[in-house]
């Protein structure tokens, strides 16, 4: 993720330790993937109670932008910054593969503004607990508010296993109610170089940076 952000901005992003409770005003906070606290208790549960989370919540309440990827998405969910739950993959397998994501019709946000609705992005996933679950009332709310940003999409009518984790309605990423926070399971930073097999992830992160700092 640092490589991706450096590639786009030409500057190295600031790394923030999880015990930090005072940070400068930032344009964008990215919570990257990984296995914080060894995934103990529940993925992201312990990191979501780290002191830095209050700082992130303050940044969001000031209208700040946050991107959470994979474990970062799990942390945002556990911190109750985004709603719902990320459960064990339906087939009980750690899944590491390229997925096709379809951009949904959703509220104004800095992440996908340069993409057309229905446009497909090739971005890989690598996770064990990415099965997004929302109870029916929450799902209805997310749809009505246009907060479902990305869905796993099939490329052929008869394609199976296009959804890598069995998530509710193929959801891959959701937005906060002001559109400034995106949580997504796929890793855009793993699709930033043609050697990765594509650069759609770079487009997503680049759009986000450009929307925020111009």
Partner 1 sequence: MKVIVNVSLKEGVLDPEGQAIRSSLNNLGFEHCSDVKTGKQIILNFNQNSEAEVLTQAKRMCEELLVNTVIENYEISILKD
140 binds partner 1 (CB under 8 A): no
3-state SS class at 76: helix
Q: Measured between alpha carbons, how far is 47 from 40 in angstroms, rounded to an integer?
A: 10
187 catalytic residue (yes or no): yes
57 sits near partner 1 (criterion: CB under 8 A): no
Take residue 205 and report the two structure tokens written for it.
């992160």
Binding track over 95-134 against partner 1, x by CB under 8 A? ------------------------------------x-x-
| Secondary structure element (H or E) that encloses residue 74, with its range | helix 71-78
Q: Are strands 85-87 and 131-133 parallel, antiparallel or unpaired?
A: antiparallel
Residue 97 CA to residue 63 CA, distance in Å, equals 34
The answer to the question of residue 91 lying near partner 1 (CB under 8 A) is: yes
Verify binding: residue 8, partner 1, rule CB under 8 A: no
Q: Which of residues 187-206 bind partner 1 (CB under 8 A)?
A: none
Q: Which of 78, 127, 129, 187 is catalytic?
A: 187
Residue closer to partner 1 (CB basis): 6 or 91: 91
- The Cα 199–Cα 142 span in angstroms is 29
Position of tokens 């015990």? 19
Q: Which residues are catalytic?
A: 70, 187, 189
Residues that bind partner 1 (CB under 8 A): 41-42, 45-46, 49, 78, 83-85, 87-92, 131, 133, 135, 166
């Amino acid at each position: 993720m640092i490589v991706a952000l450096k590639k786009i901005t030409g500057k190295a992003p600031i790394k923030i330790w999880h015990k930090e409770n005072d940070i400068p005003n930032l344009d964008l906070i990215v919570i990257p993937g990984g296995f914080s606290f060894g995934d103990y208790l529940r993925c992201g549960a312990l990191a979501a109670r780290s002191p830095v989370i209050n700082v992130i919540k303050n940044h969001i309440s000031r209208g700040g932008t946050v991107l959470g990827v994979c474990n970062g998405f799990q942390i945002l969910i556990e911190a109750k910054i985004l709603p719902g739950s990320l459960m064990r993959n339906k087939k009980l397998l750690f899944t590491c593969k390229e997925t096709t994501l379809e951009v949904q019709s959703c509220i104004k946000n800095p992440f996908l503004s340069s993409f057309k609705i229905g446009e497909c992005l090739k971005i890989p996933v690598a996770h064990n607990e990415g099965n997004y679950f929302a109870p029916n009332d929450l799902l209805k709310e997310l749809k009505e508010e246009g907060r479902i940003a990305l869905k796993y999409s099939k490329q052929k009518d008869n394609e199976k296993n296009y959804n890598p984790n069995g998530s509710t309605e193929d959801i891959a990423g959701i937005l906060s109610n002001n559109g400034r926070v995106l949580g997504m399971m796929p890793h855009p930073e793993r699709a930033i170089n043609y050697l990765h097999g594509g650069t759609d992830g770079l487009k997503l992160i680049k759009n986000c940076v450009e929307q925020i700092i111009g």
